[in-house]
Amino acid sequence: MPFHKLADGPITMTIGAVRSAEGKFGPQMVFTSNDGTDVFISEMSGAKGLARLNLTEESVVGKTLHFEQIKKDGKTFTNINLSSAGAVAPATATASTAAPAPRVAGMTQSEAVALYSWALDTANGTLGKLCELQGMPVDAAALQSAAATLFIAVKGR
């Protein structure tokens, strides 16, 4: 079966099954898409993510989820969010190069999360990389501020 590493980028997929497995780094939850693609995440991250969404391993089957890794303060976190139905084709990695299309009348939570995720990735890829090249320190507050500026600018279009 094919598998997708979250370190290679986010993925949105419709869940066909969830199972437990023992991985290199301990107990894992394996989310399998309807087309057979597997995503492995730590059991603790998977359980917390599902609990936050009020889902169980059984009730998540058939739902479309967006998985991504975020780096913050030198640590890597796994985020799991419900995806808007039909927003992205199942089991395709999302491209963070183009801003999500803004909505005039407001946004759903999933749309806001996708837009802020894009803004944070873009801020890190521009401000973060530029500061790194110049040998200047960059902290979470600077990235958050840059991401908020991008979020507001795109949301207001």
- Kindly state whether residues 76 and 104 are assigned to the same domain: no
Parent domain of 82 = 1-93
98: DSSP letter: S
Last residue of a domain, one of 93, 122, 145: 93
**pLDDT cut 70: percent of the chain above it:** 83
- Whether residue 120 has pLDDT greater than 70: yes
- Kindly state whether residues 63 and 106 are assigned to the same domain: no
Model confidence, pTM: 0.54
- Kindly state whether residues 86 and 111 are assigned to the same domain: no
- Kindly state whether residues 79 and 107 are assigned to the same domain: no
- Whether residue 86 has pLDDT greater than 50: no
What confidence category does residue 98 fall into, taking pLDDT thresholds of 50, 70 and 90? low
What confidence category does residue 95 fall into, taking pLDDT thresholds of 50, 70 and 90? very low
Instruction: Tell me what pLDDT residue 41 has.
Output: 93
Last residue of a domain, one of 93, 127, 148: 93
The mean pLDDT value for 40-57 works out to: 91
Last residue of a domain, one of 71, 93, 115: 93
- Kindly state whether residues 88 and 143 are assigned to the same domain: no
Instruction: Tell me what pLDDT residue 111 has.
Output: 76
The mean pLDDT value for 37-61 works out to: 91
Tally of domains in the chain: 2
For residues 72 and 36, the answer to whether their CB atoms sit within 8 Å is no
- Kindly state whether residues 134 and 81 are assigned to the same domain: no
126: DSSP letter: I
Cα–Cα distance measured from residue 61 to residue 54, given in angstroms and rounded to the nearest whole number: 13
What confidence category does residue 91 fall into, taking pLDDT thresholds of 50, 70 and 90? very low
**If you write DSSP's letter for every residue of 30-78 in order, what string do you get?**
EEEETTS-EEEEEHHHHHHHHHHTT--TTTTTT-EEEEEEEEETTEEEE
CB atoms within 10 A of CB 137: 7
20 contacts: CB under 8 Å, gap ≥ 6 = 27, 28, 29, 30, 43
| Higher-pLDDT residue of 98, 140 | 140
What confidence category does residue 99 fall into, taking pLDDT thresholds of 50, 70 and 90? low
